[in-house]
Amino acid sequence: MKVKEKFEEMIEKEGACHLTLIDPDEQTPKESVKMAKEAEEAGTDGIMIGGSGVDQDSTRKTCRAIKKATDIPKIIFPGDTSSINKHADAIFFMSLLNSRSRYWLSMAQAFGSFSVKKAGLEPISVGYLILESSNKTSVEFYGDANIIPRDKHKITAAFCLAAQYMGMDYAYLEGGSGAAEPVPNKTIKLIKSQTEIPLIVGGGIRDGKTAKEKVKAGADIIVTGTIAEETNDVKKKIREIVKGTKSGK
């Protein structure tokens, strides 16, 4: 079964999915494997590998190590075309829809398309959006993002509906890695009332209560990354967030 089909089945049966994001720049491959295994044991549904500004070698080594050590789906979360490698099951083939740069809108995707095919990765098309956060995040800087204000819910919903009309598999909202605040519930609710594609929400989700709120508002997939790097007990923290995610609907 393809990764996208697995996630759709989980959403149908359990109400939502949880993914753990691991940034190869933040720890060694060995440390990343430990984090991934603990997250898997805690019930996360998949491991995303990548981030803004990561280099090719560290991403490849981390993907290869995690692929050998875990059984759940591994998805590349590309910071650029250099993130593409064969040591994963799928890739979020993303367009940063509110970037000012045509590179992040479509050029990077064209440059990377043959590499994705050659690597045998399942491409999952994603309309990616960066919302305002009180702290400037790496993806805002690298992606030259025209940040959407947190109170402009209709603008965000319009981008997500456009992503659906352009045939994308998912819409993905966040403030960026380490965002101080999560995506507003009001924004999520409006998007779900206007769209039909699954909605991924990440950034600023640090506990089970917040994860539950986002799923209740309409999120289909919850992504947590920074909190897994900061906590002293990855398994305990991810288990808490997974529980909140699965109990939101």
Tally of structural domains, the chain: 1
Band the pLDDT of 228: cuts 50, 70, 90.
Answer: confident
Whole-model pTM: value is 0.94
Report d(CA 69, CA 76) in Å as an integer.
16
Report d(CA 59, CA 77) in Å as an integer.
10
What digits encode the pLDDT tens for the residues 108-150? 999 999 999 999 999 999 999 999 877 777 777 888 899 999 9
Contacts (Cβ under 8 Å, ≥6 apart) of 193: 218
User: What local confidence, expressed as pLDDT, does residue 179 receive?
Assistant: 66
Band the pLDDT of 156: cuts 50, 70, 90.
Answer: very high
User: What local confidence, expressed as pLDDT, does residue 211 receive?
Assistant: 96
State both tokens at 101. Answer: 């740069």
Q: Indicate the burial class of 202 (C-beta count within 10 angstroms; 0-12, 13-18, 19 or more).
A: buried
What CATH number did the domain enclosing 26 receive?
3.20.20.390
User: What local confidence, expressed as pLDDT, does residue 10 receive?
Assistant: 95
Domain ranges, residue 13: 3-246
User: What local confidence, expressed as pLDDT, does residue 1 receive?
Assistant: 87
What digits encode the pLDDT tens for the residues 170-209? 999 987 666 668 999 999 999 999 999 999 999 889 999 9
Q: Quickly count: other Cβ atoms within 10 Å of residue 114's Cβ.
A: 10
Phi-psi region of 120 (alpha: psi -120 to 50; beta: other; left: phi over 0): left
Flag whether pLDDT at 34 surpasses 90: yes
